[in-house]
Amino acid sequence: MGSPGPVLGGVIGETPHRWHLHETDPSYTPGGVFFLLMACYAGSMLTSLQSQNIEPKTGRWILLVGPRSLNASVLTAIARFGERTPVRVLDGGNRFNAYKVARAARGRPETLERITVSRAFTCYQAHSLLESTPLSQFPFIVLDLLNTFYDESVQAGERKRLLKICISHLERLEVTSGGVVSVHPPAVPSQTAVEMLELLQASAGESIFVQPEPAQPQAMRLF
């Protein structure tokens, strides 16, 4: 895994025009800024399948950046953690699908009982959720942390202020247990989103960018 900080700064400085891609631009993709950043991390790119084997370690938290399809792998990873140790899941984007986790855990109640879930639906709730999470020796997983921070009805400065507090709580939690924080690109690319990702990267012990898996070839329909 490379050290992402300087590379990220370079990209932002060199290609600011990419922030303002419009839908009429042929190179426009939703969340294009994030994918542009991801393209600069060839050394730290993983597939969704590999991301299931990420192991949280005490003293640092891992930042997982990838498309929304990455969520299925993260849910499988949660079930794997639950087989061995209690896991705390903090859901920032309503991404925790209990049915998928139950299926990955093969429905075993002892595994499912080790997984506790808390959800936040606004950035203020995300803040209070992290604030109220006590120190524990068990790993924590934050799903789609930035989702509530993309809400433009809250001023950008306020969102960044709250995110900084959230990061300080992540740093507090990593002291006794490792963790994984997943982040997905916003529906509409924005500079604030990139700045918030930068903040997270600066604090993360490791940043992993997961590339979207290529679409499976579909058999042509005969009729």
Q: Pattern 132-171, binding to other proteins, x per CB under 8 A? A: ----------------------------------------
Residues 102 and 97: their CA atoms lie apart, in Å, by 9
Beta strands in 30-178 (DSSP E): 45-46, 61-65, 87-91, 115-119, 140-143
Q: Which of 96, 149, 150, 209 binds other proteins (CB under 8 A)?
A: 96
Q: Pick from 50, 94, 116, 191: which binds other proteins (CB under 8 A)? A: 94
Q: Return the residues of window 111-130 that contact other proteins according to CB under 8 A.
A: 112, 119, 121
195-214 positions binding other proteins, by CB under 8 A: none
Give the shortest CB-142-to-other proteins separation in angstroms. Answer: 16
Nearer to other proteins, 40 or 112 (CB): 112
Query: CA 141 to CA 76: how far, in whole Å?
Result: 12
Task: Kindly determine how many residues on this chain lie close enough to bind other proteins according to the rule CB under 8 A.
Answer: 12
Q: How far is the CB of 91 from other proteins (least distance, A)?
A: 8
CB of 103 to other proteins, least distance (A): 6
Q: Which is nearer to other proteins, 121 or 138 (CB)?
A: 121
Of 90, 33, 87, 95, nearest to 55 by C-alpha is 87
Q: Are 165 and 131 in contact (CB under 8 A)?
A: yes
104-112 contacts, C-beta under 8 A, 24 or more apart: 104/75, 104/76, 104/78, 104/79, 104/80, 105/79, 108/83, 111/79, 111/82, 111/83, 112/82
Per CB under 8 A, the segment of 61-69, 99-107, 181-189, 208-216 that binds other proteins is 99-107
Answer whether 181's CB lies under 8 Å from 64's CB: yes
**Which residues would be at the binding site for other proteins (CB under 8 A)?**
94, 96-99, 102-103, 107, 109, 112, 119, 121
